[in-house]
Amino acid sequence: MSQAVVRLDNAAVLNAAAKRIRGLLTNAASSMLDAGVELKKVRDTHFPIVPARKGSGIGRTGGRIRPGWATWLRDEFKISRAHADHLIKIGDRFAHRARTSSSLAALSGTVLKQLAYLPEENAIEAEVIEENKRSMRERGKPISVRKVKQIIRKRKREARGEKEPEPQLPSAKEAQKLAKAARERGEVVLIAARDGNLYTGADEKVVAEHERVRGIALRMEWFVDFMLKLDCTPHEFMEQTPEWLRWWRTKSERVSPKGVKVGEVARWFTAFAAAIERLR
């Protein structure tokens, strides 16, 4: 049966079915479940399985196909056959139960997709449902697909007797995002990332200013450490370096070869010494 024959013989029925399904293709669980049920009905009724033609590369291994099915899906909904198979699987697994289970119906379609390929009514499914209730109660948001995948991986590892892997640090982008969210809540945190840095969630201007001040502090630390290691007094140092002595004896308006006003340097060192004395 060719695609053309299928479309001509069943045009009105298929158009009506396509209109219904198109309105159901959303991420809402109930809609996706109904879409899966409708797709299965259309597939099994209007696109029956037939043996693949000889020489197609499929028939030689006993392959069977549904002529026109993939094309109809693409033309009507712009979805692939694989995506339709996922919807049908979800509908088969959950449609009848979701009508009587508000907890199951509360899960998103993407979450149901993760659960659809697990054994029927297993402990993972029950855990996801409970976690979704907790998330809605505490955060006002449904459980994320990422969290569902984490639960599935964890329970599968436990079933195989494998140890829980060491927790990984977030990426730099994730760490900055987490720290920024904490800062918006009024919390001051440092989030370690995989790149070895700590992130505070501060914006670029604040970070740049922090780096500037930190650079000054590090250079000052190096300078103080260097001065403490000198094996001569300041007076001896000046006497042993005639060029410095000449600068120091000039008026404050005179500048060093690097453009530094000597008088200002002297006053800064005096103030620096006074500040150190106050900190003692």
Verdict on whether the full-model pTM lies above 0.85:
no
Q: Are the C-beta atoms of residues 88 and 118 closer than 8 Å to each other?
A: no
By CB atoms closer than 10 A (0-12, 13-18, 19+), residue 215 is exposed
- Cα separation, 42 vs 7, in Å, equals 12
Q: What is the phi/psi pair of residue 186, to 5°?
A: 90, 10
CA atoms within 13 A on the CB side of 34: 16
Per-residue pLDDT of the chain (280 residues; tens, 9 = 90+): 444 444 445 677 888 888 878 777 765 566 788 888 999 999 999 898 888 776 555 544 456 788 889 999 999 889 899 999 999 998 888 888 877 777 877 888 888 888 988 887 678 988 998 999 998 888 888 899 999 999 999 888 888 888 877 778 888 888 888 888 888 888 888 888 888 888 888 778 877 888 888 888 888 888 888 877 877 777 777 677 666 666 556 555 555 555 666 667 777 878 888 887 887 6
